[in-house]
Amino acid sequence: MSSNAFLNNPFSAGINEIRGYWGRFLALGIITIALGVVCILYSAIATQASVWVLGFLLLISGIACIVHTFWIRNWSGFFLFFLSGLLQGCVGYLLLRYPHQGLVGVTMVLAAFFIVGGLFQIVAAMLMRFPSWFWSMLSGVVSLALGIIVLARMQETSVFFLGLVVGVSFLMDGVSFIALATELHKLPQLTVYKSKAA
pLDDT for res 77? 65
pLDDT at residue 76 in the model: 64
Ranges of the chain whose pLDDT falls below 50 = 1-3, 5, 192-195, 197-198
Q: Coil, strand or helix: which one is 53?
A: helix
Per-residue pLDDT, 198: 43
What is the model's pLDDT at position 119?
A: 87
Spell out the long-range contacts of 117-120 with Cβ–Cβ below 8 A and sequence spacing 24 or more: 117/143, 118/142, 118/143, 118/144, 118/145, 118/146, 118/147, 119/144
Looking at residue 180, what is its pLDDT? 80
